[in-house]
Amino acid sequence: MLSERVHLHPKGMAMSLYAQRGVSAQKEEVHAAVQQLDQGLFPHAFCKVYPDYLGGDAAYVNVMHADGAGTKSILAYLYWKETGDVSVWKGIAQDAIVMNLDDLLCVGIYDHIVFNSTIDRNKQRIPGEVLQAIIGGTQSVFDLLKGFGVNIHYLGGETADVGDVVRTAAVNGTMTCRWPREKIVSNNRITAGDVIVGFAGFGQAHYESAYNSGLGSNGLTSARHDLLSKFYATTFPESYDNALAEEVVYIGKNKLTDDSGVAADGRHLTIGQLLLSPTRTFAPVLKPLLEQHFDKIHGLIHCSGGGQTKCMKYLPGDFRIVKDNLFTPPPVFDLIQQNSGATYREMYEVFNMGCRLEIFCAPEDADIMIGAAQQLGIAAQVTGRVEAAAAKSLVIELPGERVEY
């Protein structure tokens, strides 16, 4: 096991590189700030679900969700500046969409959705051609999804020039839907004896045009600074918080155009291509599963912020989650760990490690979920199970190591 690089904050306690860069995998302060707000009709559901304020029908609910590409847009900026390839911004548009859509999928919503985009830019650095790539890329994702019966209506949004607020660009969005209450996945049915079916975020699904590294849109602050070299700090100081300590800024040895050593489609991929793989959506596989096997799905978790520990937040009771058959992490995570020296404990808390979606179901129904994924070229397998316990806990069994949360 690689040792984690740690430093001491003023009180002498060890801090991870992730924390030193001003980011929290668990977002403790955010959760504390909103804990007094209405938690909605189903507190254990992956998204907040509210009564039908839009239509006043007790048989329906409203869901509004906001998310975005996060700091992945900084990687797009660096790649575009280094290569001149403006098309990389289309992937950022997909990231912002999928981080919303796949959260909605986890409460059972897959159709009749409206989307508003929010793009904040520094006009001195982000020209109109980048905006065109983002907005055009947004519509192209919706066109693709429509072919799978997932209808998302693009209702415009806000594009703001706020150079005093952002150094480059922030790409976010909001999705809203009115949905039948009886078709919400609330996670309340997760119980001891369930198994967890994990869907891979890496490889190449039938509806993807290229190999996907599986990185998604979480943990990019770590990935960027751990893999990339000081070249980016000196050449593009606008790409990071200049108040950070030098020893945590761009500590890797790579440039985005370097060969990653990972081969796909008969060619070697660059570091930039691995880091900027557009986040895979699982909508094409979850739509038919939710339509045809809704009652067999006890819970859904999008392993986004918080990585493989995400599930603990949404358990409806005191259960012990055992993950003892996770995917072998794809190469991008090996590269990050080799550069950062992070422990497996931190890696599995920050990153999805190749498994970005979990379905909780009865053991006898697992093959249905796995088969649906495999039909679309997505690797899937039983990755773990739910056990009765006195308190919530998570155990991740790795070759030669056991990690507990």
Domains and CATH numbers, the chain: 1-37+186-405 (3.90.650.10), 48-184 (3.30.1330.10)
Q: Is it the case that residue 293 has pLDDT exceeding 50?
A: yes
**Residue 59, φ and ψ in degrees, nearest 5:** -85, -5
Mean pLDDT, residues 358-378: 98
At 227, which amino acid appears?
A: L
Q: Positive or negative, the Cα torsion across 394, 399, 402, 404? A: negative
Distance from the Cα of residue 109 to its chain's centroid = 17
Cα separation, 375 vs 358, whole angstroms = 17
Q: Positive or negative, the Cα torsion across 340, 343, 346, 352? A: positive
Cα separation, 321 vs 192, whole angstroms = 9
Mean pLDDT, residues 119-135: 98
Residues 252-284 have pLDDT tens digits of 999 999 999 999 888 899 999 999 999 999 999
Other CB atoms within a 10 A radius of the CB of residue 29 amount to 8
Cα separation, 364 vs 378, whole angstroms = 20
Cα separation, 271 vs 226, whole angstroms = 12
Q: Is it the case that residue 11 has pLDDT exceeding 60?
A: no
Residues 20-67 have pLDDT tens digits of 766 655 556 655 666 667 779 999 999 999 999 999 999 999 999 999
Residues 162-176 have pLDDT tens digits of 999 999 999 999 999
